[in-house]
Chain A
Amino acid sequence: MSPDPRSEFPSAVETASLVRSGERSARAVIESTLERIARFEAELHCFNLVTDVDALSAADAVDALVAAGKDPGPLAGVPVALKDNMCTRSIPTTAGSRILEGWIPPYDATVVSALRAGGAIVVGKTNLDEFAMGSSTENSAFGTTRNPWDLGRVPGGSSGGSAAAVAAGLATVALGSDTGGSIRQPSALCGVVGVKPTYGLVSRYGLIAFASSLDQIGPIATTVADAATLLEVIAVHDPADSTSLNVTRSRWSTDLAEGIEGLRVGVIEDFLADAAPGCQSGVRAAAEALASAGAKVEEVAVPSLMLGLSAYYLIAPAEASSNLARYDGVRYGLRVEAPDTAEMNSRTRAAGFGPEVKRRIMLGTYVLSAGYYDAYYAQAQRVRTLVARGFAEAYESFDVLLSPTTPSAAFPIGEKSNDPIAMYLSDLFTIPSNLAGHPAVSVPFALDQGLPIGVQVLAPALGESTMFRVAAAVERAADPMARGPIEPRAKTNS
């Protein structure tokens, strides 16, 4: 067994503490991060863009604040990677697509401003499935990202670049976006913590939209404490986002040490049944650990959750077909010339979008079209209500729910890329939370034949406090070898 490299990697909380006290300079932190990126980025391809110059000057600015006795923020000096579907002013943002290759946003996403205000340092824009559509990052127009645990396997998706970066120590934390599981699933496959917050808790202003009623930005980190701290910094009410909740946000990071005695935990038996043995056993072990820590753990059947996948693959493409209409070659991005504008739109979009994006646009257009709207889209929105009801009933008897995050560990690159349905099934356990607008977190728990598997903790809307507490308890019981950061490996050490 190789030596545990994690000791070299202070958490975000530790890093910020060292920088704020002056013990370590932000510049030193960033230099070390950039060095590691330089070593491993070629084999991993986590980043579409490494913003080394900007990162170093931002680090110097943080150090200047510290030197001047001013508060540099709760994440001072912490290197953060941003999924490349978040707008960064003056920094190219591609959404993993040819159609936006070279596009430079004239504004920052709200979360980016919040991060900067918190003292965090953006080190780069990470790779993703094109327009966040995918579960493996194989749909990126700029090449796939590799899983640090086994370079022949996918990191998951769509936030594969962010998850892999954190897993390999190329960034201390990262932001991803989650529409059907795109933070949690890659986090599980890469052995890191990934959180999808309650819908509306984090502003979507500046997030390149995929499916508006489902998208949420969330943290990816190596510890639950880091994830909670990062969420505190980015979960601000934003008047620029009409769907941004105007509620008081808690200090979740301070709740983590609280025990879980008496908390009622429901293990979703429908999901267990559909998971690979390694994932099943992981969840059962986690459940036992929670019971030992004082929680009341039982299995619960929530059959309506199984309807989520179908509803999702009607609703998400429908919203996406509309959100992606603006990519028409007129105002920004790729343009393929043609004798008239309509033809120019069609050729541009044909050249600029990859096959998965095209499939979803066509499927979405179809389910919204006259004659089909009621049977498909409206029906899917009703099924969505059924899913929400299923959760509501379960939460009458339980405080949180537990499940595997994914049906299996990371699969080989290319294995599912020609089988859309097989790919979609990766999101079976994560989708329902998006449909209901509920928070959920994936905690790395165990190794299954050398590959990490994650345990998912689900909570009702605005239930982050309880969710984090339980997640911290799961983390305490987890196999420390099952989480990043690690050195990238050609294949698993099984």
Chain B
Amino acid sequence: MADTSASFSRSDVAHVASLARLDLAEDEIEMYAAQLATILDHVAAVTSLDTSTVAPTAHPLDVSNVVRSDVVGPTLDRDEVLAQAPATESGRFKVPPILGEAP
């Protein structure tokens, strides 16, 4: 079980920034660590509450089984879509080399 009394450390910031694909400079990491530690300390009060008598709210609605029929609908015009893309080639979205496979 995680140590929830610990504040948001610099290495925590570096870790989540990496997971969330956010490039941060060293001084930014410092700054965010301090701010996030303050915020987390404030909201971490919930962790000590006794919630043994309740289930989590998965959803505010009490609804299930919402589905649609398997019928083809309209698609987007490819030109309109690609016009918004930063880079394209032969009808596809172009990106820099992808190192590594999907996790």
Contact = CB atoms under 8 A, between A and B. Distances in A.
Contacts of B43: 309-310, 313-314
Q: How large is the interface on A (under 10, 10 to 19, 20 to 34, 35 or more residues)?
A: 35 or more
Contacts of B51: 379, 382-383, 385-386
A42 interface: no
B72 interface: no
Interface string B20-41: 1111100000001001101110
Interface of A is mostly: helix
Interface stretch (A115-123, A165-173, A224-232, A334-342): A334-342
A307 B49 CA distance: 10
Q: Report the contact-size class of chain B (Cβ under 8 Å from the partner).
A: 35 or more
A146 B20 CA distance: 33
Interface in A357-411: 358-359, 361-363, 365-366, 369, 371-372, 374-376, 378-386, 388-389
Given A104-B84, A106-B81, A332-B85, A346 B46 contact: no
B47 A349 contact: no
A375 B58 contact: no
A310 B45 contact: yes
Contacts of A103: 84
Interface string B65-82: 010100000001100110
Given A313-B43, A365-B16, A379-B49, A338 B96 contact: yes
Contacts of A333: 84, 86
Main secondary structure of the interface of B (DSSP, over half): loop
Contacts, number: 176
Contact of A328 (B19, B21, B32, B61): B21
Q: Which 3 A-B pairs have the closest CB atoms?
A: A437-B60, A381-B56, A335-B86
24 contacts: A106-B81, A107-B76, A242-B66, A245-B63, A310-B44, A325-B20, A330-B86, A339-B96, A340-B99, A341-B96, A341-B98, A345-B21, A359-B39, A361-B20, A361-B22, A366-B16, A376-B47, A378-B56, A379-B46, A383-B49, A383-B51, A385-B51, A385-B55, A436-B60
Interface of B: 1-2, 4, 8, 12-13, 15-17, 19-24, 32, 35-36, 38-40, 42-47, 49, 51, 54-61, 63, 66, 68, 76-77, 80-81, 83-87, 93, 95-100
Interface of A: 103-104, 106-107, 199-200, 213, 239, 242-243, 245, 307, 309-311, 313-314, 321, 325, 328-335, 337-347, 349-350, 353, 358-359, 361-363, 365-366, 369, 371-372, 374-376, 378-386, 388-389, 420-421, 424, 435-437, 461
